[in-house]
Amino acid sequence: MLKLVIACALFSICSYVGFEYGEGFNRRMMQLREILKSLIILQNDILYGSTPLPEAFENFSYKVEEPIHSFINGIREKLVSGSVESVYDGVAEEYREFKGKFSLNDNDIKILGDFFKSLGESGVFGQERIFSLAIEGIRMNLKDAEDTAKKNVKLYRYLGVCVGGMLTIFVL
């Protein structure tokens, strides 16, 4: 009886770990979609609406999902209160707080870091180029994330179930 309980627990735990690890790939893909959406909304507000940055952050933060919503609100609060000197400083401080909630890789972070370093530092034409570069970079990373998720989500789910099944057989 005890062997059966242990075998079921091992199978369940291994399956859960496989599913959870596989979902990390989906989370990255979903977060990149939200970031792309937020960049496009921000671009429209700033370039075509001539909206000030804190107000633009407030406008689009309600149109995106968590954790990006809270992340953007935190940046906006830092900009409005004047506790940071630049947008990049606000983003860096806020990212340190939210790092565990994001499933982004180093390349994604680099693109966003470069974007926020130059946001608000140039004229309209410069901003347009900056937005275009960031949006194109995120689009390429999103395509890569979709391909990776397509392959790896199933792989890690099956791997978790198979390892759980193998351990169950060994226990019994």
**Where are the domains positioned within the chain?**
2-171
pLDDT given for residue 111 in this prediction: 92
pLDDT given for residue 155 in this prediction: 92
Task: Determine the 3-state secondary structure of 121 from DSSP.
Answer: coil
pLDDT digits (tens, 9 = 90+) for 17-29: 999 998 988 999 9
pLDDT given for residue 73 in this prediction: 87
pLDDT of 39 > 80? The answer is: yes
pTM of structure: 0.82
In sequence order, what DSSP letters do the residues of 32-69 get, joined into one string? HHHHHHHHHHHHIIIIIT---HHHHHHHHHTTS-TTHH
Compute CA distances 13 → 3, 26, 149, 158, whole Å: 15, 20, 22, 13
pLDDT given for residue 54 in this prediction: 80
First to last CA, the chain: 10
Neighbours of 91 (CB within 10 A): 23
Q: Which residues of 1-15 are buried (b: 16+ CB within 10 A; e: fewer)?
A: eeeeeebeebbeebb
Q: pLDDT: is 73 or 121 the higher one?
A: 73
Residue that is written with structure tokens 């759980």 in the block: 164
Counting beta carbons within 10 angstroms of the beta carbon of residue 106, is it exposed (0 to 12), middle (13 to 18) or buried (19 or more)? exposed
pLDDT of 88 > 80? The answer is: yes
Average pLDDT over residues 135-161: 93
The continuous run of DSSP H or E covering 17 comes out as helix 2-43
Report CA dihedral (61, 64, 65, 70) to the nearest 10 degrees. Answer: -20
Backbone angles phi, psi at 2, to 5 degrees: -65, -40
Report CA dihedral (52, 28, 89, 71) to the nearest 10 degrees. Answer: 60
Q: pLDDT: is 66 or 162 the higher one?
A: 162
